[in-house]
Structure 1
Amino acid sequence: MAKGTPTPWPYTLIRLLFQFTLKVFYGTIVVSNAHFIPETGKPCIVCANHSNSLTDALLLVTSVPSNRRNMLRLTAKSTQFGRKTFTSWLIESAGTVPIHRRKDFDVPVDNSQAMEALIKALEAGDAVMMFPEGMSRFHPTIAPLKTGVARLASDVLSQHRDDPQFEIYILNCSITYMHRQHWRSDVLVTWHPPMVLRPKDNPELLKPVKHETIRAVTTQIYEQISSGTFDSPSWHLVQLSKLAARMYAPLGTTMSLGDHVRITRTFLEAFKDAHEDSSEENQPIHPEIVKTMQLQTDLKEYQHRLMSYGIKDDRVRRPLSRHDIVRRMTIRLFWSCILFSISIPGLVLWLPVILSTLYAVHEFKKSGPIFDTFDEIAQYKLIYGLMSGICVWLGGVILTLPFALVTIFLIPATMWMTLRWMEDCIASSRAFFALFRLLRVGKHTLNEMRILRNGLHREIVELGISLGLPPKPEEFFVLAGGQEKGRVVGPWQSKAGYFSIRRRRKRDWNETLRLYDKVDYPDDDS
């Protein structure tokens, strides 16, 4: 078996730097099924959906355990090379292979050299990372996959047609961002069982190979990737599916991020099927399809009313007296002030990072439309945040030179704990404003909303059960989940979580570091 290419030092540096940076930017990164990753020395093509530009590649690099693979050979669009930027240096130093995209050039492109480099890497036992969509884009749906991965696998197999023991792996991965460009959101990285191809078992992939065979392999890749993430024809269906998931498994349900994504995807697939069936011409519509379509209409109206009142579904589900609301508001306000007060020293350190990052993103947004720029926002935040954070750290150490041996560790520790406390400060402030808006809504309107919600909840649970979901999620997921739950369990853990060194234990996977709940999405024509 091949031993694989030795890991270049820039790659190791990049992996260490961005493991830290990604953990700062995203609140929770859950890696599922890492045991499916073939070990170093086994030729492997890693494929994933591509919705977040360079961030996708960095996430995969840091999600592969070093004891499984020593490195991933990256690919990137050729326009990223040869520029005097930190991003360009980053890409080139990691041994990335440039891919020429047709959309970037006015003349026909030639990727023969790139393919040769990838074939050599695979024959050396490396893992090659490719994004078969061919481009990163800010859309709710996965783009039609290019056939390059299947053709590359066919080329490698054909060169080893006389070796019956040779095998190449196609390892598919689904990346699911709760909110891809927002600070302290969450990410799920799901690895799927690899597709193992051998000359003796897959003679149809040996040259000359038919286009139908290449397309069949590409379809398999698409089916695996889409099975682990949200693949929707519109943002509208993503929004409704997330609302249905939150109503089915309400706030307080002990649930891992993986479970939350799978539940949301279950409702999304049902809503997609209903749309497809209802759009078929000259075909009778099944009563269940009509019922599902009506449920979507009712959910949309309910979500619109929640947004207009500025409250969450959980506030409607659990009735509170005015006295209890005022009491909770007082506690939330007091706790927010305490957390903000102890965070002030660290916020002084964070201020240059926040301002420089906001400015960079603001200028970048003006460079193009949403669909062409929003997929790179997280990348800009990560890189500018990393660079400005290093400058703050070095500047602080230099200014406190007599105590440098202390401040070299104290500065990053203070910044990290400040971030942790500010998360809970923002959450408490968000709860305070939500309770205040609850007072303004009034008892009569809340009772009306509660009646509407109860009817919707019954229909959602019925639909969930028909789709194979458990009838009592609050009880089921306590027993079904592993040790990594993500959400708080019990009042003591909730309070202790404020001072957790590792990370905040979230109660709601929809949270970001914002004073309002992120439930809106771009218009589908954006």
Structure 2
Amino acid sequence: MIFRFFFWVLDLFYRRTLLGGKVPPSGPLVIVANHPNGLVDPIVVACVAERQVKILGKEPVFRMPILGWMAKLAGAIPVYRSQDGHDTDLNRGVFDAVHAELAQGEAIVLFPEGISHNEPGLQKLKTGAARMALGAEALAGIPLGTKVIPIGIVYRNKARFRSNLAVEIGDPVDVAPFVDVWNQNSKEGAIALTKEIDSALRKVMLDLERWEDFPLLELATKILDDEDEHRVTHLRNLAIQGKETFEKDPEQLLKLKGRLSRFDAHLKRLGLSVEQLDASCSPPRMAWFTIQNIVSALLGLPLAALGLLYWLPPTLLIMLAVKLGKPEEDIVATVKVLGASLFFPIWMACSVWISQHYLPTSTFGLPEYLFAFSLLGFSGIFGSYFLRQRKEAWEEFMVLVRLLSMKRLRSYLTNERDSLRKVLRGGLDS
């Protein structure tokens, strides 16, 4: 029940896309994922697993007000970390609990990096996931069929409401081939399986060495304009392609990055995007574009205003919590999601109380409240969309105005884009 509520909040906050396969519906599983977004990541994994899971979390969470209660209610298992001031020998009980769960065919979730972070790539993995999986197989005495399921989590802008979230479920890693090595030397067995887990995770996430590479990778995906692949898959494939090219011919890759950087600088200086180079900017097109957006703004404004004004008080409280709490970048979304889970229901309850005390008692019954909150919920989401669309429409209008007066420069940039597209499609061999 507690998970279902947070699944709803998650899909309200993010626009989630599921890629890859599916988590097996039965059998013992160790589900592992990268960890870029604090307490939001466990909710994401539990949501896409579509089966009951037991989540391993750092012990301090279990002592936090409300969060600790929810973690215990969800059946989470505390992990004792040295950086939290704990004796790691306490984790013997954790391993026993995990082994028991796996022996019963259950699924556990953990984040083998050991920390939530804001780094561009996968951090060095701890061996805990491998030791838990192999330990369960060894203790059972018979093959359990334990598998490790890698899940990659990629946020477009993790702290922004209604931003994109891509979750990719990778191919299962079979634990059985590593059991013999574990029985002979547990350390070597754990290291070998951890390497396999590391490789599996990198195949389903965006694994970069530097954040500075991300804008150029994103620019390259827009230049290629391949609609057959999801954006995250495309970014990952380009990143892998870039690493392979760097190993073969680093000078060639640096030359390409230089061209992309110069092309990007031209676009930014003119306030253009790659897609807008092909935009039609004739006077009739601009007139029709203007009429369309004025009509859309006039029609949508009442509903957008209703939603934005009604949800403004709890939104301001969440913003205040972020400002006063000053969380690390990888925890901002956690504060926002948990704040929304707390402040929005309280605000709705206050609305009911106000309506009961200050409106005629016969005005609102259960059907009226359900209709009102459905309308207000929809109008809040629509209000966010409305503001984003109006901002994008204004920016596009200004682009069309600029394009009218820069035909030669536009032609040059279009030719450069097409040339870069040929290079990128040729496997960086040009």
Which residue number in structure 1 is paired with residue 9 of structure 2?
21
Deviation sequence 1:285-306 (CA, Å, 0-9, x none)? 73xx534322222222332333
3-state DSSP of counterpart to 1:466? coil
Letter aligned with residue 102 of structure 1: S
State the alpha-carbon separation in 1 of the partners of residues 411 and 252 from structure 2.
21
Letter aligned with residue 17 of structure 2: V
State the alpha-carbon separation in 2 of the partners of residues 272 and 444 from structure 1.
40
Q: Which moved more, 1:332-341 or 1:150-159?
A: 332-341
Which residue number in structure 2 is paired with residue 96 of structure 1?
76
3-state DSSP of counterpart to 2:25? coil
Which residue number in structure 2 is paired with residue 214 of structure 1?
190
Identity %: 20
Distance 1:411 1:274, change over 3 A: farther
Q: Which moved more, 1:316-325 or 1:353-362?
A: 316-325
Offset of residue 211 of structure 1? 3.2
Conserved? CA contact 1:397–1:404, under 8 Å: no
CA RMSD of aligned residues (A): 2.5
Which residue number in structure 2 is paired with residue 189 of structure 1?
167
Letter aligned with residue 25 of structure 2: E
Deviation sequence 1:61-119 (CA, Å, 0-9, x none)? 11122xxx2x11011111112222x2222222211111122222286664212111111
Offset of residue 459 of structure 1? 2.4
What pairs with 1:479-494 in structure 2 (closer than 5 Å)? none
Conserved? CA contact 2:307–2:382, under 8 Å: no
TM-score by length of 2: 0.90
Offset of residue 420 of structure 1? 4.1
Distance 1:431 1:333, change over 3 A: farther
Correspondence for 1:268 among 239, 252, 257: 239
3-state DSSP of counterpart to 2:154? strand
3-state DSSP of counterpart to 2:132? helix
Distance 1:94 1:381, change over 3 A: same
Distance 1:311 1:14, change over 3 A: farther
Distance 1:18 1:465, change over 3 A: farther
Distance 1:443 1:290, change over 3 A: farther
Letter aligned with residue 60 of structure 1: V
Conserved? CA contact 2:3–2:74, under 8 Å: no
Offset of residue 34 of structure 1? 4.8
TM-score by length of 1: 0.74
Which residue number in structure 1 is paired with residue 119 of structure 2?
139
Deviation sequence 1:462-515 (CA, Å, 0-9, x none)? 4235389xxxxxxxxxxxxxxxxxxxxxxxxxxxxxxxxxxxxxxxxxxxxxxx
Correspondence for 1:83 among 59, 64, 67: 64
Letter aligned with residue 155 of structure 2: Y
Which residue number in structure 2 is paired with residue 457 of structure 1?
418
Which residue number in structure 1 is paired with residue 180 of structure 2?
204
- Show structure 1 runs of 5+ residues with no match: 1-12, 278-284, 368-372, 469-526
Which residue number in structure 2 is paired with residue 296 of structure 1?
257
Q: Which moved more, 1:328-337 or 1:177-186?
A: 328-337
What pairs with 1:17-166 in structure 2 (closer than 5 Å)? 17-27=5-15, 29-35=16-22, 37-40=23-26, 42-65=27-50, 69=51, 71-84=52-65, 86-105=66-85, 110-161=90-141, 163=142, 165-166=143-144
Q: Whose helix proportion is higher, 1 or 2?
A: 2
Which residue number in structure 1 is paired with residue 338 of structure 2?
383
Conserved? CA contact 2:178–2:192, under 8 Å: no
Residue 172 in structure 1 maps to residue 150 in structure 2:
yes
Conserved? CA contact 1:52–1:136, under 8 Å: yes
Offset of residue 322 of structure 1? 4.8
- Show structure 2 runs of 5+ residues with no match: none
Distance 1:312 1:332, change over 3 A: farther
State the alpha-carbon separation in 2 of the partners of residues 259 and 95 from structure 1.
35
State the alpha-carbon separation in 1 of the partners of residues 109 and 204 from structure 2.
18
